[in-house]
Homo-oligomer: A and B are copies of this chain.
């Protein structure tokens, strides 16, 4: 059979053993670094391996209980600047650590997610990074049961105390709201994210807190429900624009919705930021490419990806050290002032 396409020609650990005149398992030890191997022997083996162009077979290694140096990454999809940035950070850090990357999209095998996670943890990955906003808890319990290393990105999981990395959502929203208030705005429309997502809640709370701290009355009718996607932002903004008197600023819980809001505002014949200011959250690449450029709260997405990788590798390579390892890393957000916010029109100055 030709099914052995990946085998026939390949140089195995046995070839290296022959070439270097030592045994089978000594080669394995030498190749894997540590373990008691005489310096000379090791050098001999390494030289032979190099000469023969030996490359370890990941499958075999994994099957025999070793590591594959493959990290899994589960994301909803790639069609979203937000995810893309995190993925870049993940990829970079993975490369640096000399691991490889398996990319999983949740689109796959919908409806059988439990089994899906099971498949992943039964696949070649040594561990997995989850960037999945609405992850079911069963996922995590399955992972836990198998002692399979994982880390959550931008998603908390109060019950299980999972390792995770996120950003200062509350503070970011607070800062942004304060910024708007300092600009003179009093009627600040707020577009929420999905209520089921903790970061969405935190941002809303930050907004409310800033209002309260600066003597601006919270107005429930200035809150519009969003879903983190552009069309949702558009619809929410439309609703907000009907509010009388019209809000002088709109703060969207993420950039994608802010983009939708900008479109809705323009479609009403209004100018940004002259008539109405718009502020986003995330700082995805598009934020600086639209016109006017979007003022937004920057999440260090790429860095979040990087940190996630290091948290995961820590678990993979030092399973013993788990208790002392960092369980949660929260990175700072930062307001990026661009062009979509301005002082409130003087006609509106009374507040």
Oligomer: number of copies = 2
Segment at the interface with B among A120-128, A157-165, A204-212, A306-314: A120-128
Cβ-based interface call for A350 (8 A): no
Contact of A146 among B9, B60, B70 (CB under 8 A): B9
Instruction: Evaluate whether A103 and B91 lie within 8 angstroms (CB atoms) in the complex, with A7-B65, A146-B5, A319-B2 already known.
Output: yes
Q: How far is the CB of A72 from chain B (nearest CB, A)?
A: 9
Q: Whose C-beta in chain B lies nearest to the C-beta of A101?
A: B103
A65 adjacent to B145 (CB under 8 Å): no
CB contacts under 8 Å to B, within A1-41, are 1-7, 9-10
Task: Decide if B66 touches A6 in the complex (CB within 8 Å).
Answer: no
A10, B122: Cβ atoms closer than 8 Å:
yes
With A88-B79, A102-B100, A119-B55 already in contact, the answer to whether A319 and B5 are too (CB < 8 A) is: yes
A146's nearest neighbour on chain B, judged by CB, is B9
A sample of 6 inter-chain contacts (CB < 8 A) reads: A5-B147, A53-B118, A78-B88, A95-B107, A100-B108, A289-B289
9 closest pairs, A vs B, by CB? A291-B291, A3-B65, A59-B59, A59-B62, A95-B108, A59-B63, A5-B147, A55-B122, A103-B103
